[in-house]
Amino acid sequence: MTTSAAPTRPAVRLGAPVGAVRLGAPVGTLTPEQVRGFVHEQLAATDVDGRSVLVLVPDDTRTCPLPLLWSAVHEALAGRASRITVLVALGTHKGMTEQALATMLGYPAGEFETTFPGATLHNHEWWDDSTFANLGTIPAARIEEISEGRLSRDVDVLLNKLVLDHDLALVVGPVLPHEVVGMSGGNKYFFPGIAGHDVIDVSHWIGALITSWQIIGTTGITPVRALINEGCSYIPAEKLAFCVVVEAGSDLLHSISFGDTQSSWADAAQVCAATHVEYLDAPVQRVLSVIPPLYKDIWTAAKGFYKLEPVVADGGEVIIYAPWITEIAQMHPEIYELGYHCRDYFVKQWDRFKDYPWGVLAHSTHLRGAGTYDPETGVEELRVTVTLATAIPEEVCRAANLGYLDPASVDVEALSADPDTFVVPNAGEVLFRLR
């Protein structure tokens, strides 16, 4: 592996494809009738007759009015598409239960196929190697070029084999500031959404080498986005997307963009930059990040740190407040062994950590934030303190190199009145930056 210091900002390759059609704007929201009409109009003009369609949707860790969007898509495809398959782009999250799927997509539990005739529904079973097809290999030289010298190794393009079994892949989901890729959505529903470990690990580690601080909220083609797009070039199916921007704290839409997966994403990312990035005039000493219930473990609730790190003063603290969370990670036990550390802690001891899943290493660095590590002294210095106010026992928090606060001692109202504390409700989707 080769690495280099993170730049002030990651390089941005402009010139994303144009041609997306958008309904809506950063100001105001759309009615359900407007959204449904737009979906029908766009798909009426799309060649789907007699073709099989794979619909990719997020899991329930993303705020999105999927009952509205999916039902509109189904209405527009039913009787035209030869076959409709819905695949939940889990990435490496826990598989969704039938009840959770029913709530997310808007149907009575156990009645998906009767509610939406001609459609089937699947979790992406990323834990089952037999569900993947190998589309080819991105050579090391290309990875080195994409990563701007940070990494050089071959990458296998492993993807859920359902993609190969359909003529058209249709992404339906939100665009949000993201710690690994810059802005989520679009082709990210393929990689890592329905991908195998290799490309997930490499993409996330490249993001970690850049650091979340530097990459989050970037609207252009970051090195990680470039890798994702490269992987998608191996997909034979036609790729289209409805990329939406959801009003923060609600399930209403500011906008919906339609086109190929790159142009629709690029269009939505510009809207998202105007709606989901807020600016402070000065750094804050302490943040109380109030986590919404859609995050079930620290692996996902860590977004409440990623989105706040840029505004915390040196030596400050981020408190992750989620009294219902009982575990650090539902699906990635390695994090209990690794704990949370800055990027250089791993990079400067690479022989020690290189055989761990790189996606787990990346998650570790993203939640622990900026810092330094001296291999001569073994001293790690971290810019901010990360404290968990959850149901995770204190000894587990300390062992993971995180602070602990009894959630019962947290008085949100009192802290909101404290001039040294910045209380953020529904943390995890809006990015905060300094002017």
Confidence band (pLDDT; 50, 70, 90) for 11? very low
Residue 13 in any domain: the answer is no
Asked if residue 6 is part of any domain, the answer here is: no
Q: Do residues 288 and 271 share a domain?
A: no
Question: Quick one: average pLDDT of 190-219?
Answer: 92
Q: Rounded CA gap, 299 and 419, in Å?
A: 30
- 156 pLDDT band, cuts 50/70/90, is very high
> What pLDDT, in 10s, does the model give residues 213-268?
999 999 999 999 999 999 999 999 999 999 999 999 899 999 999 999 999 999 99
For residues 285 and 253, membership in a common domain is answered with: no
CATH number, domain at 335?
A: 3.90.226.30
User: Which residue shows structure tokens 């790729």?
Assistant: 239
pLDDT at 92: 78
Q: Domain boundary at 275, 305, 336, which?
A: 275
Question: Does 7 have pLDDT greater than 60?
Answer: no
Enclosing domain of residue 379: 278-434
User: Do residues 325 and 396 both lie within one domain?
Assistant: yes
CA dihedral for 255, 260, 263, 266, sign (positive or negative): positive
Q: Is residue 12 part of a domain?
A: no
In tens, the pLDDT along 266-298 reads 999 999 999 999 999 999 999 999 999 999 999
State mean pLDDT over 295-321. 96
Average pLDDT rounded to a whole number, residues 2-13: 31
How confident is the model over 115-130, as a mean pLDDT? 91
Task: Kindly report, residue by residue over 72-89, the tens digit of the pLDDT.
Answer: 999 999 999 999 999 999
Which carries the bigger pLDDT value, residue 17 or residue 19?
19
Question: Mean pLDDT score of the chain, rounded to an integer?
Answer: 93
Instruction: Please report whether residue 128 resides in a domain.
Output: yes
Q: Are residues 33 and 177 in the same domain?
A: yes
Q: d(Cα 40, Cα 49) in Å, to the nearest integer?
A: 14
pLDDT on residue 6 = 30
pLDDT at 62: 83
Within this chain, do residues 260 and 344 fall inside the same structural domain, yes or no?
no
CATH number for the domain spanning 151: value is: 3.40.50.11440
- Residue 246 has what pLDDT? 97
Q: Is 24 left (phi over 0), alpha (psi -120 to 50) or beta?
A: left
CA distances from 74 to 71, 229, 288, 339 (A): 5, 27, 41, 43
Q: What percent of the chain has pLDDT above 70? A: 96
What local confidence, expressed as pLDDT, does residue 324 receive? 96
Of 18-22, 36-40, 281-285, 419-423, the poorest mean pLDDT is in 18-22
Helix or strand holding residue 197 (H, E): helix 197-210
Reported confidence tier of residue 355, pLDDT bands at 50, 70, 90: very high
Instruction: Determine the pLDDT at residue 126.
Output: 78
pLDDT band at residue 17 using 50, 70 and 90 as cut-offs: very low
Give the pTM: 0.91
Q: How confident is the model at residue 433 (pLDDT cuts 50, 70, 90)?
A: very high
Span of 121-130, 236-245, 346-355, 374-383 with lowest mean pLDDT: 121-130
Task: Tell me which long-range contacts 38-41 makes (C-beta under 8 A, separation of at least 24).
Answer: 38/256, 38/258, 39/69, 39/72, 39/73, 39/76, 39/242, 39/256, 39/258, 40/72, 40/75, 40/76
Token output for 180: 């690994």
Same domain for 364 and 325: yes
Q: How many domains does the chain have?
A: 2
Report DSSP letters for 118-169, one per residue.
TEEEEE--TT-GGGEEEEEEE-HHHHHHHTTTS----EEEEEEGGGGG-SEE
pLDDT higher at 3 or 156: 156
Pair 228, 295 in one domain: no
- The Cα 405–Cα 133 span in angstroms is 45
Q: Could you report the per-residue pLDDT of 23-74, keeping only the tens digit for each?
A: 999 999 999 999 999 999 999 999 999 999 999 999 888 889 999 999 999 9
Q: Do you find a cis peptide bond into 357, omega within 30 degrees of 0?
A: no
Tell me: do 295 and 206 sit in the same domain. Answer: no
* Residues 324, 252 within the same domain: no
**Co-location of 36 and 120 in the same domain:** yes
Helix axes 197-210 and 358-368, enclosed angle (nearest 10): 30
Which pLDDT score is estimated for 354?
A: 96
- For residues 160 and 220, membership in a common domain is answered with yes
* pLDDT at 313 exceeding the cut of 50: yes
Of 241, 275, 309, at which residue does a domain stop? 275
291 domain residue, yes or no: yes
| Claim to verify: residue 258 and residue 307 sit in the same structural domain | no
- Domain endpoint, select from 238, 255, 275: 275
**Residue 315, Ramachandran bin (φ over 0: left; ψ between -120 and 50: alpha; else beta):** left
